[in-house]
Amino acid sequence: MTRDIAYLDYNATVPVRPEVIEEMSRALAAGGNASSVHTIGRKAKATLEKSRATIADMINCRPQMITFTSGGTEANNIALRCVGAERLIVAATEHDSVLDVARHFPGETDILPVSERGLIDRAELENLLKNSDRKTVVSIMLANNETGVIQEIAELSELVHYYNALMHTDAVQAFGKIPLDFRALGVDMMSLSSHKIGGPQGAGAFVAWEKIDVEPLIRGGGQELGRRSGTENLPGIAGFGTAAGMVPKSLQAMQQIGEWRDRIEQQLSRHSNKVRFFGAASDRLPNVTSILMPDVSSETQVMAMDLEGICVSAGSACSSGKVKASHVITAMGGSEQEASSTIRVSLGWNSKQEDVERFITAWCKLYDRKHGA
């Protein structure tokens, strides 16, 4: 990222760390297929397994529980489509890669509502679990990609297991921003993505206990212990492993990043008593804020910021470049107009205070222009 651009869209993708680029270049130059038994192949295999072990260490699971994928979307698809589920229960604020699977799921599907704070209603989840004896997968993301709201996954996992269902969490946005412990969360399955932690795009992981039977989404040569065939994306996985190894450093930076996020909200609140921050009443990721500018479309805000050299987004970036009303905001009780007037600002490892101040100035300038101040 060039320094004349204030990049504040880390929840869409994180700038690749220099150390990752270096490791990927090394893996590209070394070449090799991790399935080959000769010297070059064994070296490639060693690179692959080193990354797997590093990621496993960062999330407290066994390396063999990790299946490398093309990203978080594929990992979510495996969790919902490939473990024999006859019924899905998914939260209304899930990523599109979960909600779209639910829309096309051939079995029974229930959408779990959230409160105005963005939190799951435990009693409502229990009611849904009581009413079926079909094999059920519950999918609730650990931290929301738009608001940063963090769910009580460990408690919800206990409830899900009490009713003999499987628990999956999309931890794509949580990884690298809050401590992540697979065992402590009590889940059966988890999804991760490389490019959300400073690794390359096109690499991710499906994490699951070995006892869970997975019907492969992609069949072929039986790589990844038969769970996901296809020659592994070795440079991408090498970069993923390097980025994962830097997660402790990322976590240390979150206190400062959280202070900058809080400054944005404080300064905007001082400028207008009409601004609203969705999810602010709940425990959130420290790097993100979801900001409502009343009566100004998200698209207008994103374009205005871009003209000022500032990159922000209108909710999820996974909508083929479209700017549309946020389903997360409406699920939290916001109106369609509010959902269409909200932007997401997210910070990360290469953010600077000058980026924050630049955004505050630009936002206040736009607000005054649109509201006649």
Collapsing DSSP states into helix, strand and coil, what is residue 82? coil
Q: Alpha-carbon dihedral of residues 79, 85, 87, 90, nearest 10 degrees? A: -10
> What is the Cα–Cα distance from 97 to 72, expressed in whole angstroms?
8
**CA triplet 325, 327, 328: central angle to 5 degrees?**
120
Q: Give the angle 128-211-172 at the CA atoms, nearest 5°.
A: 65
Residue type, 270: R
Pairing of strands 66-69, 204-208: antiparallel
Of 61, 311, 318, 364, the active-site residue reads: 318
Residue 7 CB contacts under 8 Å (≥ 6 apart), including other chains: 1, 15, 311, 350, 351, 355
Q: Are 297 and 324 in contact (CB under 8 A)?
A: no
State how far the Cα of 207 lies from the Cα of 217, in Å rounded to an integer.
15
- Is residue 318 part of the annotated active site? The answer reads yes
Which of 246, 244, 248, 251 is CA-nearest to residue 66? 244
The Cα-based distances of 263 to 20, 225, 258, 275, 288 in angstroms read 31, 47, 9, 14, 12
Cα 35 off chain centre by: 30
- Write out the catalytic residue numbers: 318
